[in-house]
Structure 1
């Protein structure tokens, strides 16, 4: 069922007021021959937009094919490498070339970084997905596709302005986050709560020490509120309950621990679970995989 127009407008206004995203271009051009590119290793969120041609991105645990009109947005610094779609060609790389004239084997890219200027980067990176993927063929991203077309039109102009591309990318990222928030109530709640300094401080404290009990009274005391006032304010702004978001933050922290090589029991205890079985059930519900599968996938990548 589609969301009523007035509800969606209100949600958009709330989300826009909660975000202040700024992008900066790093690469704008095309690669030919044998090449690879990456924005990882700089401790920053980043993006890659495929302007023409195709390529693939190697994430270690998986490889994704990307075609013209696709984009990938890394919400945290995730190791990755972009490279030609097929087998590496024999022709050596000549470095990044101008977008025009297009080469038969060229892949046009707009790559760069983005940040949430209200200082939410670390909080969002720990609690949101590792990356968002925009597919040109996905009808769900109609609004984002319109912005992407403006980027394509701008970069096709010999007098293209990097500043215009950056501001359009800001808007493109907003639409991607709006899509995430629309299908993930907890993500929407986090984006809104993180704008409130008091609530953001609470969320950061939970992420720093997820093993603490964090009862409703504990959370209310930290904000110097009664339990009733805290619960009402929290649910009104986030659309989710403190207990639901607490579990989501704990499972996200547990995933990080498992990816770093922690054992299942260790990860369970470090996010507040004494029972490995209860932890495994909660992790499966939140992450869509068993903790053992998460560890195996990471081990395979290594």
Structure 2
């Protein structure tokens, strides 16, 4: 399994389409994650603390972690849009969202690999076929993965797990963690997988990912544990699955990491 597939297998980005059509009035969007595909017309994006951005060409606008923003359009011309809310997966301590920029703007003219999916989104969004909502949501899910891949490939991620996965050596260790969260990993184990000395591995990991290898392992375990608990798995079973010998030890780490005990997960 490649390094990104191992991550996405456990923490899956999801999109939910809520608008497709011609927008002809000013709209403000709340602090959820959003992904907008602007296709035609004229649109002005406003954000607190940032310059206004006027769009006239097909463009993707991505707010990974959510930020209030507003679209202003000419009511006579409007703007053709397809919009979705975004959940990157994993909720608290999300490893995908941590390293992404606060805002990503991608003119399609400069990202030709995204155009085929965007064309399908527009065609589906402006039609009225059976299964339209499901088709739009799945297309947006795929587009999210393409965007993350593109952002990493262009060096726009400076820290976090995505920055670590961009380094071939760290990617080997991170993939091992993602695939085997229940193993009793040591710093030496992970350094050996990366083909590096312990000291150099620990330094590079902290620089790229933003935390120590063992701290990241713990955070990853808690991300997976929260997902399992939300599905109704018993605490004892979850504890064993993510590498803890006792439910008590797991509960202490979970509470310290996420700020609430496992039993409060819904």
Give TM-score scaled by structure 2 length: 0.59
Aligned partner of 1:49 among 37, 49, 52: 37
Q: Is the 8 A contact 1:75 1:124 kept in 2?
A: no
Secondary structure of 1:137 counterpart: helix
Give the count of matched residue pairs: 196
Secondary structure of 2:67 counterpart: coil
Matches within 5 A, 1:216-295: 224-233=184-193, 241-248=201-208
Q: Is the 8 A contact 1:49 1:111 kept in 2?
A: yes
> Is there any run of 5+ residues in structure 2 with no aligned partner, and where?
212-266
2:27 is aligned with 1:37: yes
Aligned partner of 1:20 among 8, 12, 17: 12
1:65 deviates by 2.1
Instruction: Give the superposed CA RMSD.
Output: 3.7
Secondary structure of 2:98 counterpart: helix
1:231 deviates by 2.2
> Is there any run of 5+ residues in structure 1 with no aligned partner, and where?
1-8, 92-103, 202-222, 252-302
- Of 75-84 and 158-167, more deviation after overlay is shown by 158-167
1:12 deviates by 6.4
1:15 deviates by 6.2
Matches within 5 A, 1:1-302: 10=2, 13=5, 17=9, 19-32=11-24, 35-41=25-31, 44-60=32-48, 61-84=50-73, 105-119=77-91, 122-138=94-110, 141-159=111-129, 161-184=132-155, 187-189=162-164, 193=174, 196=177, 224-233=184-193, 241-248=201-208
Q: Is the 8 A contact 1:18 1:195 kept in 2?
A: no
1:152 deviates by 1.6
Secondary structure of 2:39 counterpart: strand
Q: Is the 8 A contact 2:88 2:97 kept in 1?
A: no
- Of 174-183 and 65-74, more deviation after overlay is shown by 65-74
1:143 deviates by 1.9
Tell me the distance in 1 between the aligned counterparts of 2:38 and 2:120. 13
1:224 deviates by 4.9
1:179 deviates by 0.8
Tell me the distance in 2 between the aligned counterparts of 1:28 and 1:249. 37
1:188 deviates by 4.7
Q: Is the 8 A contact 1:182 1:188 kept in 2?
A: no
Give TM-score scaled by structure 1 length: 0.53
